[in-house]
């Protein structure tokens, strides 16, 4: 363990100062023997917290492992990552969530917070042992059948009620299954032209509306995963105006990309929920700016090449996104004037840490707090090269794109996981 | 012309007219010959890559290629390694290694020809992809209209049936609009795509309102799987509201023609007496299909070879 003096850094974009780190926390005075980092021109944010990533382990280690996924996350400025439950075996028992949590501890790149499945095998039929996962060493607080929707209204009600006992939250993948049978892309102008089965906005919005009402009825906490439509933003705004305990996330790709890209039939743009229209993108940005949407979450979804180098209809859904998330948020929210750096910290660290109940993350860069932080160069521009990703997969939709802002260093509990833009 | 023919939308008006004119030349050149064969594509290899059964389209392309003296390989998915799970990419690389100059592809997935065009240097001709497009069908339909009615520009054309799932409808709407026809698609609302405002056509739910001014009526096949898919209550109700029977045919203007891409469901979307009437162009469409496909193969392959410039050029999509 080393001590650090981060000189000339601008915390949340404020005036330059020096931050001191010693034995894992921020301290007031320069520690003796502190290693100096010249952070002139760099911005410091609390370490980013991802509420939604697929690390694929156990089961699909050909696509990603906890080690590679969290290394990728650290390079993207994250200090905590929630690992989704749709592994093989499914993370629906204490044993699996503890395994994933331990793999995260061993890798040491990020704090890994396993998400527990809501239902056994993600089958949507009966509740998994949510309490056992909550009480395990992994201390699960976020539960989700992500990839599948808990579509049975009674089961969803029971899940929302049950997790109140241990301050859990149900993170819903909102997708009405009957309305999205064989769905391939956003239902709209382009699906008609391209002859691909549509995934209508109403299939997301109908579930969100129902779940908000259920959460209000039972007085529980609902989190809505990867909100993708303008109508969903309106519904969540309405639910929040009622004072209900509803939070929501948006992915970077839904803040930037539109369904027009599907015209290439390149499955790198195939994702669930699908890319929507520019009007949806605009509403999502506005919702994130005004706080209706609480958090940016990556929905990092690695897939091996052979699952993407195929016909559109056969290809897997999903995009990787941990290393590009911050840059895409800068491009879509900061460069557009919709969020300042404090706003970025709020949406990518503070609020996701609160939703996931992570006390050591998302805090002020203040004396006594755990030194989880990211240093970024706001002036840098870089071109995305999939081959350089630490992820085991290459399915980024941004290959060849030039993006603003670059992560220079990431610190987890006072220890660098990334230095000079490279794994420490 | 582009190097590939993936969508009717890729054809400019000049391209489309060139194909139709070339098809007419093919007809004239071969008319009255006892040996129906031209030496134009001697030494070129055309692969028919069919992942779906389609005897009529495959045969049409095969006859077209053979009349131009090309070597034809029929690569049917069922008898090949594709049925053992070989990926589209590996199939493409195999064909590339065999030196295919053109690949005519029929595939159940929309956009499969677009993917294929990424992986091979030869020309890719879309012979029907999923519920997307079937551009040579649209070309042969336009050719048929021109032959029967003298022109396409200014014609009023009704395309009737399952527009949502029809590659024939998509390709025809795009091509006919390019050629200056006035197109109306007619279907029950459940069989129309959401968000059609960008389509260059009008939309109607009422066949009887459209027929009196239609110069050509194109009836689309009702696929078996739609009949049980809840898109309409019963096949009889569909037939009553959207089928073309003798009574409805009587509402057409005198010179109007009735078209169908085949295979027909007689008694469902088209009554037998309509299919067999003098207005029907269904058999001509089949004959015209060969001429149009000859024209397409000739224009994509018959120009200068790869070492030459111009016609071989085209963006890799």
Span A47-360 CATH architecture: Alpha-Beta Barrel (3.20)
A311 near B115, Cβ under 8 Å?
A: yes
Check if A196 contacts B (Cβ < 8 Å).
yes
SS3 of residue B155 by DSSP: coil
Q: Report the C-alpha gap between B217 and B206 in whole angstroms.
A: 13
| Record: contact B194-A191, CB cut-off 8 A | yes
Q: Report the C-alpha gap between A18 and A7 in whole angstroms.
A: 4
Q: Please provide the CATH number assigned to the domain covering B135-282.
A: 3.40.50.1370
The CATH class given to the B8-134+286-312 domain equals: alpha beta
Q: Is the pLDDT of residue B97 over 50?
A: yes
Residues of B in contact with A193 (CB under 8 A): 170, 198-199
A141 near A166, Cβ under 8 Å?
A: yes
Q: With 0-12 CB in 10 A as exposed, 13-18 as middle and 19+ as buried, what is A178?
A: exposed
Number of CB pairs, chain A paired with chain B, less than 8 A apart: 74
Of the candidates A194, A170, A83, the residue with the CA atom closest to the CA atom of residue A118: A170
Q: Is A299 a catalytic residue?
A: yes
| Record: contact B111-A311, CB cut-off 8 A | yes
Q: Residues of chain B with pLDDT > 70: what percent?
A: 93
List every span in chain B annotated with CATH 3.40.50.1370.
8-134+286-312, 135-282
* Tens of pLDDT, residue by residue, chain A (424 residues): 589 999 999 999 999 999 999 999 999 999 999 999 999 999 999 999 999 999 999 999 999 999 999 999 999 999 999 999 999 999 999 999 999 999 999 999 999 999 999 999 999 999 999 999 999 999 999 999 999 999 999 999 999 999 999 999 999 999 999 999 999 999 999 999 999 999 999 999 999 999 999 999 999 999 999 999 999 999 999 999 999 999 999 999 999 999 999 999 999 999 999 999 999 999 999 999 999 999 999 999 999 999 999 999 999 999 999 999 999 999 999 999 999 999 999 999 999 999 999 999 999 999 999 999 999 999 999 999 999 999 999 999 999 999 999 999 999 999 999 999 999 9
| Record: contact A309-B197, CB cut-off 8 A | no
| Record: contact B199-A193, CB cut-off 8 A | yes
Angle at A306 between CA A117 and CA A52, to 5 degrees: 30
Q: Are strands A373-383 and A402-412 parallel, antiparallel or unpaired?
A: antiparallel
| Record: contact A310-B87, CB cut-off 8 A | yes
Check if A187 contacts B (Cβ < 8 Å).
yes
Which tokens hold the place of B63?
A: 């006859």
Chain A closest-CA separation from residue B193 CA (Å): 5
Of B88, B89, B131, the CB nearest to A195: B131
Q: pTM of the entire structure? A: 0.94
Of B87, B89, B196, the CB nearest to A192: B196
> Residue A215: what pLDDT?
98
Residues 6 or more apart from B121 whose CB is under 8 A from it? B96
Of A195, A197, A309, the CB nearest to B170: A195
| Record: contact B111-A196, CB cut-off 8 A | yes
């Amino acid at each position: 363990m080393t001590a650090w003096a981060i000189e000339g850094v601008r915390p949340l974009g404020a005036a330059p100062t020096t931050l001191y780190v010693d034995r894992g926390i921020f301290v007031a005075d320069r520690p003796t023997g502190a290693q100096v980092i010249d952070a002139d021109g760099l911005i410091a944010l609390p370490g980013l917290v991802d509420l939604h990533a697929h690390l694929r382990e156990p089961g699909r280690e050909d696509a990603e492992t906890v080690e590679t996924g969290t290394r990728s996350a650290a390079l993207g400025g994250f200090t905590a990552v929630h690992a989704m439950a749709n592994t093989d075996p499914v993370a629906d028992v204490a044993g699996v969530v503890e395994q994933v949590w331990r793999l995260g501890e061993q890798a040491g790149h990020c704090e890994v917070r396993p998400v527990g499945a809501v239902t056994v095998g993600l089958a949507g039929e009966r509740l998994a042992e949510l309490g056992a996962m909550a009480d395990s060493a992994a201390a699960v607080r976020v539960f989700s059948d992500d990839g599948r929707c808990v579509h049975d209204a009674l089961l969803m009600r029971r899940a929302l009620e049950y997790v109140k006992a241990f301050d859990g939250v149900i993170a819903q993948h909102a997708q009405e299954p009957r309305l999205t049978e064989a769905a391939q892309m956003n239902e709209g102008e382009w699906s008609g032209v391209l002859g691909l089965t549509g995934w209508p906005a109403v299939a997301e919005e109908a579930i969100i509306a129902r779940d908000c009402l259920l959460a209000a009825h039972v007085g529980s906490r609902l989190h809505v995963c990867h909100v993708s439509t303008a109508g969903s933003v309106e519904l969540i705004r309405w639910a929040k105006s009622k004072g209900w305990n509803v939070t929501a996330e948006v992915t970077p790709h839904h803040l930037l990309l539109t369904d027009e890209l599907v015209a290439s039939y390149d499955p790198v743009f195939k994702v669930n929920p699908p890319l929507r229209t520019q009007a949806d993108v605009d509403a999502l940005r506005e919702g994130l700016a005004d706080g209706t949407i609480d958090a940016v979450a990556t929905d990092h979804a690695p897939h091996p090449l052979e699952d993407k180098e195929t016909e559109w209809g056969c290809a897997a859904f999903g995009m990787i996104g941990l290393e590009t998330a911050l840059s895409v948020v800068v491009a879509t929210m900061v460069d557009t004037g919709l969020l300042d750096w404090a706003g970025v910290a709020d949406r990518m660290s503070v609020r996701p840490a609160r939703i996931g109940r992570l006390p050591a993350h998302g805090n002020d860069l203040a004396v006594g707090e755990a030194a989880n932080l990211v240093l970024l160069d706001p002036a840098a521009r870089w071109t995305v090269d999939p081959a350089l990703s630490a992820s085991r997969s290459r399915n980024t939709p941004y290959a060849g794109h030039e993006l603003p802002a670059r992560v220079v260093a990431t610190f987890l509990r006072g220890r660098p996981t990334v230095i000079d833009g490279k794994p420490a | 012309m582009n190097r590939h023919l993936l969508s009717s939308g890729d054809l400019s008006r000049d391209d489309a007219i060139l194909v139709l004119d070339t098809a007419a030349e093919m007809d004239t050149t071969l008319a009255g010959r006892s040996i129906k064969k031209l030496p134009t594509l001697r030494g070129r290899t055309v692969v028919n890559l069919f992942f779906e059964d389609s005897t009529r389209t495959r045969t049409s392309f095969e006859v077209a290629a053979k009349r131009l003296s090309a070597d034809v390989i029929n690569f049917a998915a069922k008898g090949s390694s594709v049925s053992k799970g070989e990926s589209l990419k590996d199939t493409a690389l195999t064909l590339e290694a065999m030196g295919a100059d053109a690949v005519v592809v029929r595939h159940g997935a929309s956009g499969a020809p677009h993917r294929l065009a990424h992986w091979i240097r030869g020309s890719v001709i879309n012979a029907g992809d999923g519920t997307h497009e079937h551009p040579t069908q649209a070309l042969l339909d336009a050719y048929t209209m021109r032959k029967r009615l003298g022109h396409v520009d200014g014609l009023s054309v009704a395309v009737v049936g399952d527009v949502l799932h029809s590659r024939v409808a998509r390709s025809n709407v795009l091509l006919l609009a390019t050629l200056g026809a006035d197109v109306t698609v007619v279907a029950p609302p459940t069989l129309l795509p959401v968000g059609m405002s960008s389509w260059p056509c009008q939309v109607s739910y009422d066949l009887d309102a459209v027929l009196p001014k239609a110069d050509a009526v194109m009836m689309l096949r009702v696929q078996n799987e739609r009949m049980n898919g809840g898109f309409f209550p019963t096949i009889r109700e569909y037939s009553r509201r959207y089928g073309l029977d003798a009574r409805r045919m009587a509402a057409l203007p005198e010179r109007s023609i009735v078209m169908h891409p085949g295979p027909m469901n007689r008694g469902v979307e088209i009554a037998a007496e309509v299919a067999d009437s003098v207005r029907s162009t269904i058999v001509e469409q089949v004959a015209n299909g060969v001429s149009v496909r000859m024209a397409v193969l000739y224009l994509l392959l018959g120009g200068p070879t790869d070492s030459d410039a111009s016609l071989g050029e085209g963006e890799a999509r």
